[in-house]
Structure 1
Amino acid sequence: MSVLRIGIVGAGIMGRGNALSLSGRTDAGITAVTSRSADSAGRLADEIAERGAARPTIHPDLDALLADDAVDAVVLTTPDDMHGEMMVRAAEAGKHILVEKPMTTSVAEADAAVKAIRENDVIAMCLFNHRWVPAYAQAYELLADLGEAAVAYARKDDTIFVPTEMLSWAERTTCAWFLSSHDIDLVSWLLRDQVRQVYATARWGKLRSLGIDTPDAIQIQAEYSRGAVATFESAWIYPNTFPTTVDSYVSVIADNGVVQLDRQKESVVLARPEGYSYPRNMLQRVMHGIPAGAYADAIAHWVDCCLTGRQPLITIESSRDVTAVLEAAHLSIETRQPVEVA
C-alpha cells in the first residue's frame, strides 16, 4: 500500500480539521465521507474537492462507508460518547483507525475497542496531538534528567463559546472528558507513569442556567503509581472576551528541577479595534499553503504507521488508561470519595 485511502466519519469542526490536515498529502487521500447530516457531508466533500483532490464518495452511514473497498482507514470525529462502538465496528471491518479524543467515555467500551483492534490486527491511535507540540516534546526530554516527578498541574479552560455555540452536544459530555483528556495523556507521558487513584469535584451553575446540563468546571486530584501527585483543572465558562478560546498551562516539579509550559500566547499578539487576541498556531495552521502544526504532525505519524505497520507513539492501551482515569474521576464526583483507577 503506497497511499492510505481514508474515510472521514463526522463532518463537523473536527472532521473538517482532519480533512485540512490530510489535504495535499501524497501518501494519503480522503475517498469517503459520512455524517448524520447529509448536507454537512456534502459541504465537506466539496471543500476537499476544492483543494484539488477527487471528490470523496458520500455514504449514508458508517456501515456503508466500512463496506467501501476504497477505504483502508477511518477517522472518527463524532461526539465523545459515540467513539467506542464505532471503533469496534471499524476494527472488525479491517479498517485502521484514528479517533478524536477521548478514545471512549467508558472503560467497558475502551476495553472492547482494544480487544477488537488487537484481534483484527489494525493500527489505531487516539489523536492526542499535544505530544507533537514542540515545547511539550522538548519537556519530555528535559524531564528525563530532572529525577522523579513530585507535583504536576495542568489546566485547560475554554470560553463559554465552546459548550454553548461550538458544540451542539455539550450536555452529553463534560469539560473533563473534552479538555482534561488531553492533559491526562500529556502529563502521564511526561511523568512516564500511570494514575492509580483520583479524587474529583465539580461545580454546576452557569451552564445549567442556560439549559445545558453539564458541569461548569471540574478539578481532579490524581496520585500516580510512583507517588507523584497532579491536579487537572477544566472549565468552559470563561467569558468570550478572553483573548484565546482555550487557556492552557502545564507545570511539572521534579526532584531536580521545574518545567513550565504556558500556551496562552503562541508568539503572535493581534490588536484590532474590537479587541485583543493571541492567535493560535501550534496545533493547526496553514504555512505557505501547506497544513502544519502538531495536529498535522500527529496525523502524519498515524498515516505512516498505517502504511508501514509500525505501532503509533500513542498506544491504544495508553488511551484506554486516560478513559479509566476520567471514568474514576466522574465516579468520585458522584460518590464524593477517592476512587481507584481500573
Structure 2
Amino acid sequence: MATTTRPVRFGLVGTGAMAALTGKVLAQYPNSVVTAVSSRTRDSATRLAIELEKLSGEPVTGYEDVDEMIASGRCDAIAVMTPDHLHAEPTVAAAAAGLHVLIEKPLATSVADADRMVAAVRAAGVRAMCLYNHRWLPPNAKAKQLLADMGPAVCGYARKHDTIDVPTRMLKWAERTTCAWFLSGHDIDLVSWLFDSEVEQVSAVARRGLLAGRGIDTPDAVVIQARFDSGAVATFESGWVNPETFPTMIDSYLSIVAEGGTIHVDRQKEGILAATPDSFSYPRTMIEGDIHGVLRGSYPFAVEHFVECVRTGREPLVSIESSRQVTAVLAAAHRAIDTGGSVRLDDVAPAR
C-alpha cells in the first residue's frame, strides 16, 4: 500500500459521545481531518459537523445516509461509532469502496458479522482497527514489557464495573448488548495480548434482576472463566450496577500471575483524588484528558496510531483478526451462560 503525505480524510458514522471524542482527536491531529459526518438524522449530523468545523477550520459535510457519505469521494477512511450491534454494515460497505475503517469496540456482537468484516477488509486490502485502546495505557504497556522477563503466564483476573447510569441513562440501547460485550472486550483483548495467547475454552455465568426490574432486559453482571491455548487461565468480571455515588464511573482492575512474577494494575484512582463539599471522586485521566488544550491519553494515542497506519501502509497493533477473536470469546461466553456449561471456541467460531 502506497504511503501518503497529506492528512487522512475521515468520515464519522454516528454522532454520540464516542463519535464526538473521535472527531475531536482527528480534528486536532495534524495528519488527519474530519470531512464528513453521517447520522440517521441530518440535524444531528449537521450539529456535530458544525462543532468539528469550529475546531479545525475545515469544512465538514453532514449526511443522513452513510452510503451517500461513503460514495461522496470526501473520505479516505471512516470511523464507525454506532451502537455495538451496528458496526458490520458500514464497515463492509466502506471496505468495498476502498476506504479504511476505524471501529469502536467491540468489533461486532456476532461471529458471523465479525467474519464478514474481516473478509471485506482483507479482500479490499484496506487498513482496519477496532479501538481496543487499553494497549496504549502506560501501565498496560509497561506490564507487557515486564512480562517478557517473567516467563509464561499462569493466571489473570480483570474487572470492569460501570455505574448504573451507564445502562439506564447514557445508553439508549443497553438491552441490545450486555456488560460483557460493552466492557470485557477490552480486558479479553488486553489479556490475550499480554499472554501472547488465544482463548480456547470458556464458561460463564450471569446475574439478572436489578436492571430487568427497571425494564432493561440485560444482565447486571457477567463472570467469564477462560482457558488459553498456552494453558494459562483467566477470569473476566463485568457489571454495570455500581451506585452513582461510586467515586469513578468505571472501576477497572487487572492482575497477572506469571511463573516468574506478578503484576497488578489498579486504575481506580489514576493518580488523582478530588473532594468538594458536595462530592468525592477519582477523576479519569488515562483514557482521555485535556492537557493544555490538547486531548491526550490511550484513546487519542490509539486513534493517532491508526491514522499513521493508513498513511504508511503498516498493519495496526490491534489486528482485525484479533478483534474477531474477542468477539468469538464473548459469543462463546454468552452461549455458556445460556447452556450452563463450558464452550470451546471452535464450537462457536472455527478458526479462520
Shorter-chain-normalised TM-score: which range?
A: over 0.9
Q: Does 1:27 align with 2:44?
A: no
For the pair 1:293 / 2:297, whether they are aligned, the reply is yes
User: 1: distance between equivalents of 2:232 and 2:338?
Assistant: 25
Q: How far apart in 1 are the matches of 2:59 and 2:167? A: 32
Q: Provide the secondary structure at the position in 2 that maps to 1:105.
A: coil
Instruction: Pick the aligned partner of 2:321 from 307, 317, 336.
Output: 317
1:207 matched to 2:216: no
Letter matched to residue 188 of structure 2: I
| 36-45 vs 10-19, greater mean Cα deviation | 36-45
| Residue aligned with 1:47, SS | helix
Instruction: Tell me the secondary structure at the aligned position of residue 157 of structure 2.
Output: strand
DSSP 3-state at the match of 2:262:
strand
Q: Which residue of 1 aligns with 2:201?
A: 197
Question: Offset at 1:68?
Answer: 1.3
1:100 correspondence with 2:108:
no
CA distance in 2, matches of 1:317, 1:108: 13
Tell me the residue number matched to 1:58.
62
Aligned counterparts of 2:91 and 2:74: Cα–Cα separation in 1: 18
**Partner in structure 2 of residue 37 of structure 1:** 41
SS state at 2:87 partner:
helix
Partner amino acid, structure 1, of 2:79: V
Q: Quick check: 1:180 aligned with 2:184? A: yes
Report if aligned partners of 1:11, 1:35 keep a CA contact under 8 Å in 2: yes
Inter-partner Cα distance in structure 1 for 2:96 and 2:56: 32
Q: Secondary structure at the match of 2:235?
A: strand
TM score, norm. by length of structure 1: 0.99
Is it true that 1:136 corresponds to 2:133 in the alignment?
no
Shift of 1:329: 0.3
> Cα offset for 1:220?
0.2
Match of 1:10 in 2: 14
Q: Which residue pairs with 2:274 in the alignment?
A: 270
Alpha-carbon separation, structure 1, partners of 2:48 and 2:54? 10
Helix, strand or coil at the partner of 2:256: strand
- Aligned identity (percent) is 53
CA RMSD of aligned residues (A): 0.8
Checking the alignment, whether the CA contact within 8 Å between 1:23 and 1:291 is kept in structure 2 is no
Q: What residue in structure 2 maps to residue 152 of structure 1?
A: 156
Residue 251 of structure 2 aligns with which residue? 247
Give, as a single letter, the amino acid of the residue that structure 2 aligns with 1:124.
A
Contact 2:201 2:227 in 1 (8 A): yes
Tell me the alpha carbon deviations over residues 288-341 of structure 1, each in whole angstroms, 9 at most, x when there is no partner. 111111110000100000011100011100000000000000000000110001
- Give the C-alpha shift of residue 37 in structure 1: 3.0
The superposition leaves residues 173-221 of structure 1 with CA deviations (integer Å, 9 ceiling, x where unpaired) of 0000000000000000001000000000001100011110000000000
Higher mean Cα deviation, 3-12 or 48-57?
48-57
- One-letter code aligned to 1:194: E
- How many residues of Structure 1 are paired with residues of Structure 2 in the alignment? 342
Contact 1:198–1:220 (CA under 8 A) maintained in structure 2: yes
Cα distance between partner residues in 2 of 1:128 and 1:154: 15
Cα shift at 1:86: 1.9
Q: TM-score w.r.t. structure 2 length?
A: 0.96
- 2:67 matches 1:67: no
User: By how many angstroms is 1:23 displaced?
Assistant: 2.2
Unpaired runs of at least 5, structure 1? none
Query: Quick one: distance in 2 between partners of 1:69 and 1:231?
Result: 46
Q: CA deviation at 1:54?
A: 1.8
Runs (5+) with no aligned partner, structure 2: none
Paired residues of 1:247 and 1:264 also in contact (CA < 8 A): yes
Matches of 2:288 and 2:45, distance apart in 1: 22
Contact 2:53 2:59 in 1 (8 A): yes
The CA deviation at 1:168 is 0.4
State the Cα distance separating 1:38 from its structure 2 match. 2.6
CA contact (8 A) 1:8 1:30 kept: yes
